[in-house]
Amino acid sequence: MGKSLHPAKFPGKVIRLPVEKCYAQKQQHRTLACQTRNMNMSNIKFYSAWYCPFAQRAWMGLVHKNIDHDYIEIDPYEKTPEWMEISRGTGQVPVIIDENQNITVPDSIRVLEYLDVQFPNETSIYPATNGAEANAKFWIDFQGSKIIPYLYRLLKAEAGSEAAENARFSLEQGLKTFTSNMDKDDPYFFGKDPGAVDIALAPFAQRIEILLPHYKGYTLPDIGPIWKRYHQWWNAMSAFKPLQETSTALPDYVERLVEFYLPYSTGGGQADVTEIK
């Protein structure tokens, strides 16, 4: 069990603002605390960074399941003792603190799992039977080993280099395998309802759409049944409100995202994202 640390205990660091204002601030070297719903405190504290696709997974889960929460924007790269304690030593967003249960949950996938177990009366995002749930977890792990590292490798590689070509090939292979295991008719991975597998990939699919054309002149193929199915999925996801509300509905989101990823496009940025999990 993690110790619950209320954000108000950040000495002189927390500013509570509506999320629009918080987001609109240039946040270099500052820590802001923002609330997404209203100024009343919620028992779920959600530590996030607006640009982070892992945090976006957790945020989408909160929004989709309609769970009241306080959104707290933090710079996870600033390793203050308070932040290291809140994040249980990971130093990474997302983290949620459930003050009702006195539990701290870091990691995007652990958060999605926790929310589904802890809020069973809200829309489920994992299948009900153990076998189907294990299958969903397999396809989420698959993203971490066969898709996400190659997105970052392609983004970081010099356009036209051998590294870029290898990353492109592996990214397309990963997406093709993932897609050929989707439901054959309905848009989402397991059919007509979006779930954790869809939510987990969506922020990365969004970065494939926004960042790779901009920085690498690359767009995914669209010819053939597998790629048609992938684009059917992406069209459904990009109309999915929890994805929009955690990204494109925010002011100047695309422009800001492109700006944020500039260092990645020349080989910099966070290193571990290219590692195969």
Q: Which residues contact ligand GSH (rule: CB under 6 A)?
A: 49, 52, 54, 76-77, 91-94, 107-109, 270
Q: Which is nearer to ligand GSH, 187 or 195 (CB)?
A: 195
Q: Which is nearer to ligand GSH, 114 or 187 (CB)?
A: 114
- Cα 258 versus chain centre, distance: 16
Q: How far is the CB of 192 from ligand GSH (least distance, A)?
A: 27
Let me know: does 215 contact 267? Beta carbons within 8 Å: no
Q: How far is the CB of 129 from ligand GSH (least distance, A)?
A: 25
Phi-psi sector, 225: left (phi>0), alpha (psi -120 to 50), beta: alpha
Phi-psi sector, 104: left (phi>0), alpha (psi -120 to 50), beta: beta
Q: Which is nearer to ligand GSH, 47 or 233 (CB)?
A: 47
Q: How far is the CB of 200 from ligand GSH (least distance, A)?
A: 9
Task: Reduce the secondary structure of 60-101 to three states and give it as a string.
Answer: HHHHHCCCCCEEEECCCCCCCHHHHHHCCCCCCCCEEEECCC
Q: Which is nearer to ligand GSH, 48 or 187 (CB)?
A: 48
User: What end-to-end distance do the CA atoms of the chain give, in Å?
Assistant: 25
What Rg value do the Cα atoms of the chain yield, rounded?
18
Phi-psi sector, 163: left (phi>0), alpha (psi -120 to 50), beta: alpha
Q: How far is the CB of 108 from ligand GSH (least distance, A)?
A: 4
Q: Which is nearer to ligand GSH, 109 or 182 (CB)?
A: 109
The alpha helices in the chain, defined as continuous H runs, are 19-24, 53-64, 81-86, 108-118, 130-142, 148-156, 162-180, 196-216, 225-238, 241-245, 253-260, 262-265
Q: Which is nearer to ligand GSH, 231 or 269 (CB)?
A: 269
- Rounded to 10 deg, the angle between the 225-238 and 162-180 helix axes is 80
Q: How far is the CB of 46 from ligand GSH (least distance, A)?
A: 12
Q: Which is nearer to ligand GSH, 118 or 232 (CB)?
A: 118
Closest CA to 170 of 54, 262, 276: 276
